[in-house]
Amino acid sequence: MSRSPSNEPHIRPLFPVAQSIAALLGPLAEVVVHDLASGRIAAIWNADSGRRVGDASLLDIEPDDVTDTWGPYLKRTRDGRPIKSTSALFRAPDGTPLALLCVNLDTGPMTQFATMLQDFLAVGDEQPAELFRSDREEQLRLLVHQWLGERGIALKDLKRAERIDLVGFLFDRGVFQTRNAATTAAHLIGVSRASIYADLRRARGDGAGREQQA
């Protein structure tokens, strides 16, 4: 960190704030305090940009500007890395702009980590049929969560009408043609076997729920 010892006293209260932000975000965040009276940098922490105290701020803040905060907005480092930035204006009691506090967060490492995590979590769209051909419970679980995911519904929040639609969906996929499927579905959905039969009758619109020896 570097800061100007000759800085005006009215800017100094910003230094502990800026220093605490820099300590919290670590080397990924460059934190700068600009003295608007002199148009120069008054203090800087984690100076990744290569700027120093006393460098020109190159800002264009006017006294009649009404905005006090900006961002987050995009910037780039000298080597092209993305920077997520915010700026906050510090005014005198009469409204005169005195200083600008800027936080420039290097999001490059986090973007790389997010890409690595996405690649790590990625799986194929389908399970290999030769491995799961006989695993009816796994197939049922996939169908249930496919139906829930397409509708943005959590299993624990499933209402009766939605459950009937789900059971109808499973029937259309041939789930109840296998032995003990109703018991497996009841366990997975969290209802009784009798409820599955009742939902199946309603889904089919007739009284044939027990025709399927599930």
Q: Are residues 199 and 138 in the same domain?
A: yes
Position 140 in a domain: yes
Q: Regarding predicted confidence, which is higher, 42 or 111?
A: 42
Which residue range forms the structural domain that includes residue 63?
2-109
pLDDT tens across 12-22, in order? 889 999 999 99
CA atoms within 13 A on the CB side of 179: 1
Which residue among 63, 82, 109 closes a domain? 109
Q: Rounded to 5 degrees, what are φ and ψ at 51?
A: -75, 160
Q: Are residues 23 and 94 in the same domain?
A: yes
- List, for residues 166-212, the tens digit of each pLDDT value: 999 999 988 888 788 888 899 889 999 999 999 999 988 854 444 44
- Burial of 148 (C-beta count, 10 Å sphere; 0-12/13-18/19+): middle
Is there a single domain that holds both residue 84 and residue 169? no
Quote the tokens at residue 43.
């203090």
* In a shared domain, residues 79 and 159: no
Which residues lie below 8 Å from residue 173, measured CB to CB, with a gap of 6+?
A: 143
Q: Are residues 37 and 89 in the same domain?
A: yes
Assign residue 28 the CATH number of its domain.
3.30.450.20
**Nearest Cα to Cα of residue 76 among 41, 102, 104:** 104
Quickly tell me which residue has 């009766």 as its tokens. 160
Q: Would 120 be classed as within a structural domain?
A: no
At residue 49, the 3 state secondary structure works out as: coil
95 and 21 both lie in a single domain: yes
More confident residue, 213 or 174: 174
The verdict on pTM exceeding 0.85 is no
Could you read off the pLDDT of 82-106 as tens digits, one per residue?
Answer: 899 999 999 988 888 999 999 999 9
Say if CB 150 and CB 161 are below 8 A apart.
no
Q: What CA–CA distance (Å, rounded) separates 101 from 90? A: 8
| pLDDT digit string, tens, across residues 56-87 | 998 877 767 778 999 899 988 777 788 999 99
